[in-house]
Structure 1
C-alpha cells in the first residue's frame, strides 16, 4: 500500500506542476478563465478474457447480482487549452465472470487503479465553438497501473481453485514463493482509452456519460493462461511463472455516469443567446474558447457612419463672421456699427472714429498710450494700382499716427474683383499693396519694417461681384492698425505667392 500512496502523490505532482498552466492563467490580455475541475464517476464493469463470454450465462454461484460488477472513480482534471486537457484518475472496482466450457470456473477480482490521461475536445475540433455550446465530446487515452486480487472458483464444487497472490504463497509477479510479508495485490500496467459525452448543467456542474476500455499487460487477470499445459489443472503453480500463456492479454471496460464540479472564482456559463461576456465572471476553459471572449471590432455600416458624422458635425459657422457689409475691415459679427460710410476709419469694434481728433490727442500727449486696433479700406479704379487723392489723405494720417504710436504695426491686405484671370488678379492685388507700402514709406513712415503685406486676388470678396458698386468695394486694400505683437513673424509675413495659404 505504500507503493500505491507513492504513485498517487507522484501523479498529482506531475499534473499540478505542468509548466505554464496556473489555475487562473490570463488569456488574451485581461480575460481570465477557470481551468480546474473534479469528477466522480460511478459505473459498471465488464471483463473480456478467458473466463468470460461463456455460452452458459446462468451462474448462480456468482450470487444474486450475476456477473454484473461496478466501479467508483475520482478524477482531478486540468484544462490546458480549450481543446486539450489532462486528468489524474483513481478508481476502485470489481470484475466477475465465468465460463463453463473448458474451464468450469468463475473468478472474482478486486482492483485499485491509478491512471494519467489526456483528452481532446472533438466537438470543438470538428464542429467549432459556435455550435452545441453546452455539449462536449472527448476522446482520451493514457497509461497507469492497477493492483488486483483475483480468486478463481470451481463452478461445480464452489471450491477455491487459484488466486493471484498472497503474502506467504505463490505470486503472479515473482517466480517461486513470496518470502516474508507482502501484499495480496498483484501489480500490472494498464492502458486506458475511451470517450465521454458531457453536458453543462450549471456554471458549476457537468453531467456526462463516460466509456473506458482498458488494455492490461497480463493474460492472468482471471488467473488463466489458455490451458495449453496438460498439467494446468493438476499443477496450479504453473500460473505464477513469467512465461506467457496462449491466451490474449486481458481487457475490461467501464461505463459510468460522471458528475463534474468546476473549480474557480465567479463561475459563469454562456447564455442562451450564445454571447460571451467576460465582465459577468469567469468561464471555464472546458467550455469556452478564449478567442470567443474577445470582442469583435466594431465595423459601422454606411447608415451608422452617416449617423456618427451627423452627430459630430460642428455647428454651422455664423455667416456674419466672414462678411463685412460696410467694407470697414470689421466682420459684421463684431461690428457695432455695421453701416459706417465708405472710407471711414473705425475701431476694432467697427465704431467710426475721427482720425484727426485721435491724432491731435496723441500729439498733445506726452506719453505714448497703448496701441488700439483701427481698420480702414482704400479703394482703386478698375485694373489700377494707383492710390486715389482721397485715400492719400487717409494714409498720411495713418503715417502720422504710426510715427507717434511706435508700438503699433500695420497690415496691408490687397484684393481685386473677379474680372480677368485668377493669376492676373493675384498679381494686381500684389501691385496694389506694394503701391500702398511705397506711399507710406515715401510719405514719411519712420519704420517701414512695421508694415506687413498680404494679397489674395479675387479670393476674398466682401460683396458679390454682381454690380458696379460691389466690384468697386472688392477693388481694395485693407488697412489694419494693430498692436505690434499681433504682426506676423518674419517667416510668415511678406508677399503671398499662393493666396489660398492660411492667414
Structure 2
C-alpha cells in the first residue's frame, strides 16, 4: 500500500498526488494548476497550487460570476465608484446620486435641496458669504459748541443700526475743531464733541459703551481751509467710520 505524504502547505494538508485537505473537504487539483474539484465533483478556478493528478471533467468549467465588493448592486467590473457606503442609493455605474446637484453625494449631504449654483461646504450646506458695509457718520458743530443739532438724528439711526447688526464691531469717534482759539482749548473742545456723539449713541440707541471710544484731535487735522467761513464750518466736526460684515445673499 502506498504511503500518503502529509505536508503543511499554507494551511493545507497534501494527502496524496493532487489531493488537498481543506477545512471543508478534500480537493483534487488539475495538472495545469488551473482548476480544483471538490469531493462532490464541483470544479472551480484556483491558483498557487503545485501540479497534481489531472482532474477529469473540468474542461467545461465556467468562471465564477464577478463580485460586488461594496454590495451596492453593481458588479465590480462596471462599478466606477467602488467602496460606496452600505445602503447608499447608486446609479447604474455604481456612483452615488447627488440629488440637488451641489457636488456632494446624498449620503454626505446634510443640507438637501440647496439652490442650484450655490456654494456649499463638504457637507453640502451653503457657505455663508460675508461682505463689508461701511457708513461714515459725520456731524458738524456751531462755532465754539459741542451741542449736537437735531438734523443729525437720521444719521445716528443709520450708524446705530449697523452697529446693532454686528455686535463684535467697535468704533472710534473722532472730534475736530477749526483753528480759532488756542490749541489747548480746541483739543478739549474736540474731545467734548466726540464724547457727546458717543453718549448720544449709547443713550438713544442702546449701543454698548465698551464698543465706542471718543478721541479729540483739536485743530490738528483740518479737511478744509480755515481762512474761509465755509472751511472752518467743515472743520468743526465729528467723524466715525462704522464698518460691519453682513451676510451676502446666496448666488
Fold-level similarity (TM above 0.5): no
TM-score (norm 1): 0.22
More RCO (CA 8 Å, sep 6+): 2
Which one has a bigger Cα radius of gyration?
Answer: 1
TM-score (norm 2): 0.44
Structure number with higher strand proportion: 1
